[in-house]
A = this chain, B = another copy of it.
């Protein structure tokens, strides 16, 4: 009972801290959501986003898991066939992942696309599809196919509430909906971004998956959008870890409809400056969105930012950051508020990176208030002030900075949470 109350309070806190009360939304989109009958508890389980004027471009980054769910296979195929142009809608169900569902699964995913395009009067293959939830069971496809017209014809809108409900409708084990918006200028043009995602870690393939999408009213060519999306995901959703498990359904897609006008942003020399500005904005935006997944990590009590500096390459810095972020020993030490720097060092050492020179490696904690605590300087252990360490580790937020001292000056950021009793409870007792 006490545990339940504690969990409820934690959830409420997260809700009020991380869920926006208003938003500024990109022009030319409508979104909506309903309960169509996938989730047994009556929660919202079907979401739709559509571009309402003209034609939009889209891009996608998908799981590299060899067992790709049916919606992943179908969305990849559509994006490829249309070269990223003329994609007008995203249709997403939660509660069932349509993964490892054989031929029936592929047909169900195709039917969802056909019905969505038809009811919105789009040409064929104008919709991308995502699913998240239980693996290995067929979709209740009748409920979904009946739900799509109802949703498309009566539930679409562009208010903050519509967007927030859309974010709720894609949730599974999440404790709060994940939605952010942002307005920015490129030269004299004002553009808006809205981003939604779900995932409480990539940590529950039975009711799981990381899904995300962001849409903008900037005019972006399909190839520029794909390039920016891939670059941003590499530096955001691919730089977070709750438990290192990558799902069969992971999907991040983007849409740009150009409703805010301005010159087309392309990945050609002529628009290099605007491309670069847009990319910077989207990287920052994607990182903020991805961080919400870590904040909602199952059982998480800590939000840890790992910063690896002065590597010989970005890839190398990221390999080291990822190794620390995925170490169970490190994560349990963080849960125990233990300044156990040996575990950080150990994870750096087995990361298979070329940037490691033990006698040049330095490691420190940085508190939320910017206070530094040196743990290792140029490979020599510091005498750590345990009371100061303990003080810094009381906070929810912590930065761990690893300076590799190679002179290469490349750096990477990674975000992770701790590994708690509650994680084991959630994932051990899930189906019982």
By a beta-carbon cutoff of 8 Å, the part of chain A in contact with chain B is 63-67, 99-102, 134-136, 203-206, 243-248, 327-329, 332-333, 335-338, 340-343, 345-351, 353, 356, 358, 376, 379-381, 419-421, 423-425, 427-432
Contacts and interface: CB of A to CB of B under 8 A. Distances in A.
Contacts of A248: 345-346, 349
Contact of A66 (B100, B136, B358, B425): B358
16 contacts: A65-B350, A67-B346, A102-B380, A136-B341, A203-B329, A204-B329, A205-B343, A206-B340, A244-B327, A328-B328, A333-B427, A333-B428, A340-B431, A419-B428, A420-B424, A424-B424
A245 B336 contact: no
Contacts of A65: 346, 349-350
Given A245-B350, A332-B428, A333-B430, 19 more contacts: A63-B350, A65-B346, A66-B351, A67-B346, A100-B345, A102-B381, A203-B329, A244-B327, A244-B328, A245-B327, A245-B343, A246-B346, A248-B349, A332-B424, A332-B427, A337-B432, A338-B432, A421-B425, A423-B424
A333 B345 CA distance: 29
Contacts of A341: 136
A404 to B, nearest CB: 11
B247 A346 contact: yes
Closest 10 CB pairs of A and B: A336-B428, A135-B342, A332-B427, A65-B349, A67-B349, A246-B350, A205-B346, A66-B349, A243-B328, A66-B356
A55 to B, nearest CB: 35
Nearest to A337: B432
Nearest to A361: B67
A97 to B, nearest CB: 8
Contacts of A244: 327-328
Contacts of A379: 100, 102
A380 B423 CA distance: 30
A358 B67 contact: yes
Most chain B beta-carbon contacts within 10 A, residue among A63, A66, A100, A432: A66
A419 to B, nearest CB: 6
Nearest to A342: B135
Contacts of A430: 333, 336, 338, 340
A247 to B, nearest CB: 6
A145 B243 CA distance: 44
Given A328-B245, A347-B245, A424 B66 contact: no
Contacts of A246: 346, 349-350
Nearest to A350: B246
Contacts of A347: 245
A298 to B, nearest CB: 10
A275 B100 CA distance: 46
